[in-house]
Amino acid sequence: MYETTYHRAGSVAEASDLMSKADDGKVLGGGQTLLPTMKQRLAAPSDLVDVTKVA
């Protein structure tokens, strides 16, 4: 199983900081095919940054 770290950003600055620190980070914002792609083991990002709570 691939190891992925989940982060929920509270601001644009925090999301930007998390993405800059990630080796292979991906942004989650809803309505994406990333999670099904990960389940099929076609993608294995090091970090997921959730921006759904960012105003």
Residue 55 lies in a domain: no
DSSP string, 8-49: E-SSHHHHHHHHHH-SSEEEE-SS-SHHHHHHTTS---SEEE
CATH of the domain at 17: 3.30.43.10
Residue 28 lies in a domain: yes
Residue 32 lies in a domain: yes
Which residue type occupies 41?
R
Read off the pTM: 0.83
Higher pLDDT, 43 or 1: 43
Residue 29 lies in a domain: yes
Mean pLDDT (the chain) is: 92
Q: Answer yes or no: is pLDDT of 2 > 80.
A: no
Q: How far apart are CA 55 and CA 47, in angstroms?
A: 21
Six-digit token pair at 31? 């309505």
Per residue in 24-38, pLDDT (tens digit) is 999 999 878 888 898
Q: How many domains does the chain have?
A: 1
